[in-house]
A = this chain, B = another copy of it.
Amino acid sequence: MENKVKRNLPDNLMSEMGLKPFETVDIGNPEVNRVAPKVRVTTGADKVVNSLEEVIKRTVQDGMTISFHHHFRNGDFAFNKVMDLIIKLGYKNLTLAPSSLTGIMNDKVIEAIKKGVITDITSSGMRGSLGDFISHGGLKKPVIFRSHGNRARSIEEGEIKIDVAFLGVPNADPAGNANGQEGDAIFGSLGYALIDAQYANKVVLLTDNIVDYPNTPASIKQTQVDYVVKVDQIGDADKIGSGATRFTKDPKELKIAQMVNQVIVNSPYYKEGFSFQTGSGGAALAVTRYLRQSMINDGITASFALGGITKPTTDLLDEGLVKKVMDVQDFDKGAAASMAKNKDQQEIDASWYADPHNKGAVVNNLDIAILSALQIDTDFNVNVMTGSDGVIRGAIGGHQDAASAKMTIITAPLVRGRNATVVPAVETVVTPGDSIDVLVTERGIAINPKRPDLLAAFNKVTNLNIIDIKELQKMAEQQVGSPKALEYTDNTVALIQYRDGSIIDTIKQVKE
Contacts and interface: CB of A to CB of B under 8 A. Distances in A.
A41 B222 contact: no
A40 B32 CA distance: 6
A364 B42 CA distance: 9
A299 interface: no
Nearest to A224: B359
B36 A352 contact: no
Interface stretch (A5-13, A140-148, A210-218, A474-482): A210-218
A214 B326 contact: yes
Contact of A214 (B44, B216, B362): B362
Given A212-B303, A361-B223, A31 B42 contact: no
A35 interface: yes
Interface string A35-50: 1111111111101000
A460 interface: no
Interface stretch (A22-30, A248-256, A287-295, A385-393): A22-30
A166 interface: no
A225 interface: yes
Interface stretch (A343-351, A423-431, A461-469): A343-351
A304 interface: yes
Nearest to A175: B360
A349 to B, nearest CB: 9
A176 interface: yes
Among A30, A175, A223, A355, chain B packs the most CB atoms within 10 A around the CB of: A223
Copies in the complex: 2
A304 B360 CA distance: 36
A45 B39 CA distance: 34
A260 B303 CA distance: 51
Interface string A292-328: 0000000000011000000000000000000110100
Interface string A349-378: 001100111111110110000000000000
Contact of A41 (B214, B324, B356, B362): B356
Nearest to A404: B43
A203 B34 CA distance: 15
B212 A273 contact: yes
B31 A41 contact: yes
Given A225-B359, A303-B213, A34 B39 contact: yes
A392 to B, nearest CB: 31
A359 B176 contact: yes
A226 interface: yes
Contacts of A216: 324, 343-344, 346
Nearest to A174: B365
A127 interface: no
A43 B217 contact: no
A59 B407 CA distance: 34
A328 B419 CA distance: 59
A323 B352 CA distance: 30
Contacts of A303: 212-214
A303 to B, nearest CB: 6
Interface in A189-215: 203, 212-214
Given A217-B343, A355-B223, A30 B41 contact: yes
A42 to B, nearest CB: 6
A33 interface: yes
Among A218, A273, A359, chain B packs the most CB atoms within 10 A around the CB of: A359
B38 A360 contact: no
A147 B499 CA distance: 41
A359 B29 contact: no
Contacts of A43: 27, 360, 364, 404
Among A27, A326, A346, chain B packs the most CB atoms within 10 A around the CB of: A346
A221 interface: yes
Contact of A38 (B29, B33, B45, B217): B33
Contact of A37 (B34, B40, B218): B34
Contact of A175 (B29, B38, B221, B365): B365
A156 B218 CA distance: 20
B41 A28 contact: yes
Given A31-B41, A44-B358, A223-B361, 20 more contacts: A27-B41, A27-B43, A29-B42, A33-B36, A34-B38, A41-B358, A41-B359, A43-B360, A43-B364, A43-B404, A44-B364, A45-B364, A213-B303, A214-B304, A214-B362, A216-B343, A222-B359, A223-B351, A225-B359, A225-B360
8 contacts: A31-B41, A32-B39, A34-B39, A41-B356, A41-B359, A44-B364, A222-B352, A225-B359
